[in-house]
């Protein structure tokens, strides 16, 4: 399983946090299987 993770930030809306997690998820999928990627890491 691949997971995209985003941290709560008071200056972001719920949609913004979800978008960050989604970007991290697809970055992990592009790197291969079975990964957890935190938004803010290099997202190649």
Domain assignment of residue 7, yes or no: yes
pLDDT digit string, tens, across residues 5-37: 999 889 999 999 999 999 999 999 999 889 999
Question: Which structural domain range is residue 11 located in?
Answer: 3-38
Domain count, the chain: 1
Domain assignment of residue 31, yes or no: yes
CA atoms within 13 A on the CB side of 33: 1
Q: Which of 2, 25, 11 is nearest to 41 (CA)?
A: 25
* pLDDT-based confidence at residue 41 (cuts at 50, 70, 90): low
Domain assignment of residue 10, yes or no: yes
Residue 18, token pair as written in the block: 């979800």
pTM flag (> 0.85): no
């Amino acid at each position: 399983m691949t997971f995209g993770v985003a941290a709560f930030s008071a200056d972001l809306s719920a949609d913004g946090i979800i978008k960050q997690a989604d970007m991290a998820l697809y970055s992990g999928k592009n790197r291969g299987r079975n990964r957890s990627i935190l938004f803010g890491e290099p997202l190649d």
